[in-house]
Amino acid sequence: MEVAVFNIKGEDTGRKVVLNDEVFARDLAEGNAEHTLYLDIKQFLGNQRQGTHKSKERSEVSYSTRKIGRQKGGGGARRGDLNSPLLYHGGRVFGPRPRDYRSKLNKKMKALARKIALTSRVNDQKLFVIENFTFEAPRTKSWMELAKNFKLEDKKALLVFANQDQNVLLSVRNVPNAMLAQAKDLNAYTILNSDAVLLTEDSVAIINDYK
């Protein structure tokens, strides 16, 4: 598959770059693409969680244990002490406990999910290849001009480089809806969590070799 190469002004340079069909043009109807994406994204998001949530149960709440109501004649069931879950400051019933949300997924399935995500972006016409560039100095305005040229100023944009560029990184990091990533670190969630993906020519060469 051949796609056009744009410059940072959003203009077609007249050149073409070849995208590997095994990576960018997979048959999404083949196999179970949606379930593969689900498993990969679930694992990625689960691995980001700290799992330190905790609420106090009845035995952990610190209140008086004196009996607050008579045994009988109250017109209902006896509440017990102030630690009762029925009361406002009482302990919580079956509250969350610290746990580990991390899970494992084999490398082949993670790689397949990444290819499916890239194919999806190509099919939706949300993937662009731009010529290699750098900024003369770290300026957020430089990135905003580039985003405006591609009509992405109000959208989530993922910019993919072959290697980390310090000036571009410093220009992008303060923009809430922009993200910079290296080609070797791409994953399905990062790709699908953006409204558009901008690949530099050098990064295409790396992504084409994805196994």
Domains of the chain: 2-50+102-207 (3.40.1370.10), 55-95 (no CATH)
Tell me what pLDDT residue 69 has.
81
State the average pLDDT for the chain: 93
Q: What is the pLDDT of residue 199?
A: 96
What 3-state DSSP class applies to 188?
Answer: helix
Give long-range contacts, CB 8 A cutoff, 24+ apart: 137-143. 137/167, 138/166, 138/167, 138/169, 138/170, 138/171, 139/171, 140/171, 140/172, 140/174, 140/175, 142/171, 143/168, 143/171, 143/172, 143/175, 143/178
**49-96 pLDDT, tens digit each:** 999 999 999 999 998 888 888 888 888 777 788 998 988 889 999 999
What pLDDT was estimated at residue 119? 96
Angle at 62 between CA 58 and CA 63, to 5 degrees: 95
| pLDDT > 90? residue 182 | yes
